[in-house]
Structure 1
Amino acid sequence: MKKVLSKIVNVLTFSVIIALAALIATVAINAQKGKITTVFGYSFMTVQTGSMEPEYPIGSSIVAKKVDASELKVGDVISFYSADPSMNHSIVTHRIKEINSENSVVCFVTKGDANDIDDKYQVSAGDVIGRVTGKSKLVSAISKVKKDPKLFFLVIVVPICAIITWEFVGISKKAKASSNEKKDS
């Protein structure tokens, strides 16, 4: 019974480690490509410009939580898809300066903290990705590791190889022990 329980715990632990590694890698890769990854209503993005400095410097990874537009207020920092045609619907993170509601349609006037003027185009409620809840040091660190091939190899590849080797050795020992038990009987 202990052997079965031990095997189940090992498989579950290994599965969780692989799932977390895959999730972190996906978030880091998408962040570098300017795409977002959303998990349980939280989106992860990387700041591409200095418009929100010093609070969110270029390269920082931020987390935005999906919220209803009615919950947003002046002063909140939001991430959204820009309506500016020159920006190709890219993701922007700016602070809400004003909220306009006309014919039950809510729009937000936004501005980057480091910018002198408000954004030219208002943000519709449907273009809001979420309210920024803070920075993700883990995703920022993973992004930095991914950019440096030597560091990536040391921090990601070596531990994964070690885990795989450790599991393989454990499986081999159990197979050999099982084989020896069959020979003895």
Structure 2
Amino acid sequence: MNKIGDIIKFIGKTLAYVILCLLFLITAFLIYYMSSSAIAAKKGEKPNIGLYTIVSPSMEPFIKVYDVIIDRKLKTNEELKVGDVITFYSSSLDTDGYTITHRIYDIKVSDGKTYYITKGDNNQSVDIGSITRENIVGKMIYKINGLGKIQFFLSSKLGWILIILIPALCFILYDLNKLNKIFKIKKKIDKIPEYQNMSAKEEIEHNKKVRALLEKSKWMK
């Protein structure tokens, strides 16, 4: 029985460490992302890394609604080609100023300037108007399927309750349960006769009883 308990305890600790490591990595990435974005915005530049949650089916089936894409800023003199997926600021009347993620459908050069024609994989026609390099925020390098669902859920009231109140309540209940065990152990130890007028043998037995109570409650583990 003790072996099973030790195995469960080991698995629990391992999972806890894995979750903590993941949370640390996610937190470190978010800190880097937010700080680099803030610095870039202050300088009037585009961020090195961009995260975007897709809310339109225009790129399905390659990119679905609620997928999160990761873009990187274009390198100096980096050439784009037909088929690349880019995020850009739209100049269309319907979506002016919004960021759109579509695939480069065609590239044209006029008066020494390069223009990119874009199109959503799921759209019947190309996007209205062409864009220049200045409009491009970044080039897609990776996508995370369905991550946007978690983002939208966590931004809801129910999501906040689940990620803040429930874990906090679990910690409180855990601490209360731990305190209750400590008080019970203390009461049992208080009932054990004190050292006064004990022989060496009785003192050893006394210590064994105290230690047994502590080990039973796993207070010493």
Deviation at 1:129, TM superposition (A): 0.7
Q: 1-side partners of 2:168 and 2:46: how far apart?
A: 23
Matched residue, 1:143: 151
Name the SS of the counterpart of 1:86 in structure 2. Answer: coil
Q: Structure 1's 161 and 43: CA in aligned 2 closer, same or farther, altered over 3 A?
A: farther
Distance 1:21 1:162, change over 3 A: farther
Identity %: 28
Deviation at 1:85, TM superposition (A): 2.2
The residue that corresponds to 2:160 in the other structure is: 152
Could you tell me how far 1:134 is from its partner in structure 2? Answer: 2.0
Which residue in the other structure is 1:81 paired with?
89
Residue of 68, 88, 96 corresponding to 2:104:
96
- Please report the TM-score for the alignment, with normalisation by the length of structure 2: 0.51
Distance 1:162 1:85, change over 3 A: same
- TM-score normalized by the length of structure 1: 0.60
Matched-pair contact (CA < 8 Å) for 1:78–1:131: yes
Following superposition, the deviation at residue 88 of structure 1 comes to 2.2
CA contact (8 A) 1:94 1:111 kept: yes
- Residue aligned with 2:163, SS: helix
Distance 1:106 1:156, change over 3 A: farther
Shift of 1:157: 5.2
How far 1:21 moved relative to its partner? 7.8
Relative contact order (alpha carbons < 8 A, sep ≥ 6): 1 or 2 greater?
1
Whether 1:58 aligns to 2:65 is yes
Aligned to 1:34: none
Bigger Rg, which one: 2
Q: Structure 1, residues 119-161: CA drift from partner, whole Å, max 9, x if none? A: 1110111000111112135953540441443343333555578
CA 1:120 to 1:143, structure 2 compared with 1: closer, same or farther past 3 Å?
same
Counterparts of 1:53 and 1:108 in 2: how far apart (Å)?
21
Any conservation in 2 of the 1:145–1:155 contact (CA below 8 Å)? no
Write the letter of the residue equivalent to 2:110. E
CA RMSD in angstroms, aligned pairs only? 3.7
Partner of 1:129: 137
Distance 2:118 2:29 in 1: 35
Letter in 1 for 2:48: G
Secondary structure at the residue paired with 1:100?
strand
Give 1:42's aligned amino acid: I
Larger mean CA deviation between 143-152 and 83-92 belongs to 143-152
Indicate the SS of the match to 1:140. helix
* Count of matched residue positions in the alignment of Structure 1 and Structure 2: 139
- Which of 4, 20, 28 pairs up with 2:27? 20
- 1:42 and 2:49 correspond: yes
For residues 81 and 40 of structure 1, the distance between their equivalents in structure 2, rounded to whole angstroms, comes to 14
Higher strand share: 1
Conserved 8 A contact 2:85-2:140 = yes
